[in-house]
Amino acid sequence: EIQDVPAICKVAKKHGIVTILDNSWSSGICYKPLEHGVDIAMYSLTKYFSGHNDIMMGAVVADGKIFERLYSSYRNYGISVHSEDCYLAHRGLRTLPIRMERHYQTALKVTDWIKSHKKINRILYPPLSSHPQHHIWKRDFSGAGGLFSIILDQRYSNSELGNMVNHMNVFSIGASWGGCDSLILPVQIEPARSIMKYDFNNASCIRVFCGLEDPEDLIADIELALERLPNKSEFSNDRSV
Ligand SMILES: *Cc1c(COP(=O)(O)O)cnc(C)c1O
């Protein structure tokens, strides 16, 4: 889901409201919140920045008066991070632009293959022209990462989804994306959507993170995973004959 950030910031500025944007999805490489009017950008460095799933860290980015206020709070709270973690985050930063480009290109290849599969109703990935806010993404972003969701053709049971994701060859089941390894996870997105309502016909949703592996291996893995889902519509056709 992509918001019209410049429009939101314009209204906020008029009313003296400080705006904060969590920019972890774009890693800061393909979207720069402060250039779009945001006051404070937040990042999970745990994800793309470190890039290897081996630290937990975050960053807050601001400038001017807001930076000064944040900085004095930071000093007073005594927040600090481990030097070894700083070293790993710094090392991740050196390959971040290259990794982001690869995540993006892989996700484009994988979504291009998935989109015509009969068990897929929809792909939620802003770079695709079928995405409801593609026009905003195109206007404001210079690229994307490797994270997207797929809406399946219907609601599958937990055991059916479990059977799908429990036997992957390349993908692991996991939440904290942004590393080298691809992840897959059945998710329920309805409770997390407060502003925009999409009609997914109650179909199951799978979140996919494309890591740095060969895109062909990821496609082959997803193809087999979709085959593991029961073909309910064919089943009901058989019965009606
Ligand atoms: C994962 C995530 C976080 C939390 O990051 P951690 O570094 O794991 O605590 C925050 N915001 C977004 C958008 C995330 O995806």
Band of pLDDT at residue 240, cut at 50, 70 and 90: very low
Name the residue of 44, 48, 79, 207 to mutate for ligand 1: max ligand atoms within 8 A of Cβ: 44
Probe residue for ligand 1, chosen from 25, 31, 46 as the CB with the greatest number of ligand atoms within 8 Å:
46
- CB 24 near ligand 1, within 6 Å: yes
C-alpha 20 – ligand 1 centre gap (Å): 14
pLDDT digits (tens, 9 = 90+) for 31-42: 999 999 999 999
User: Is 58 near ligand 1, meaning CB less than 6 Å away?
Assistant: yes
Say whether pLDDT at 241 is over 50.
Answer: no
Burial class (CB in 10 A: 0-12, 13-18, 19+), 60: middle
For position 238, what pLDDT does the model report? 42
Do residues 153 and 226 touch, judged by C-beta distance below 8 A?
A: no
Has residue 121 got a pLDDT over 60? yes
**Closest C-alpha to ligand 1, atom 12:** 24
Q: Above 80 in pLDDT, residue 6?
A: yes
> Pick from 73, 50, 72, 71: which is nearest to 62 by CA?
71
Q: What is the 3-state secondary structure (H, E, C) of the chain?
A: CCCCHHHHHHHHHHCCCCCEEECCCCCCCCCCHHHHCCCEEEEECCCCCCCCCCCCCEEEECCHHHHHHHHHHHHHHCCCCCHHHHHHHHHHHHHHHHHHHHHHHHHHHHHHHHCCCCCEEEEECCCCCCCCCHHHHHHHCCCCCCEEEEEECCCCCHHHHHHHHCCCCCCEECCCCCCCCCEEEEECCHHHCCCCCCCCCCCCEEEEECCCCCHHHHHHHHHHHHHCCCCHHHHHHHHHC
* Averaged confidence pLDDT in the chain: 92
Q: Quick one: which atom of ligand 1 is closest to the CA of 56?
A: 7
pLDDT band at 194 (very low <50, low <70, confident <90, very high): low
CB 19, CB 37: distance < 8 Å: yes
**pLDDT band at 45, cuts 50/70/90?**
very high
67-81 tens-digit pLDDT: 999 999 989 998 889
- Report the predicted TM-score, pTM, of the whole model to 2 decimal places: 0.92
pLDDT at 201: 78
More confident residue, 90 or 196: 90
pLDDT at 170: 98
**Residue of the nearest CA to atom 6 in ligand 1?**
44
pLDDT of residue 62: 97
Name the residue at shortest CA distance from atom 10 of ligand 1: 44
Which atom of ligand 1 lies at the shortest distance from residue 176's CA?
1
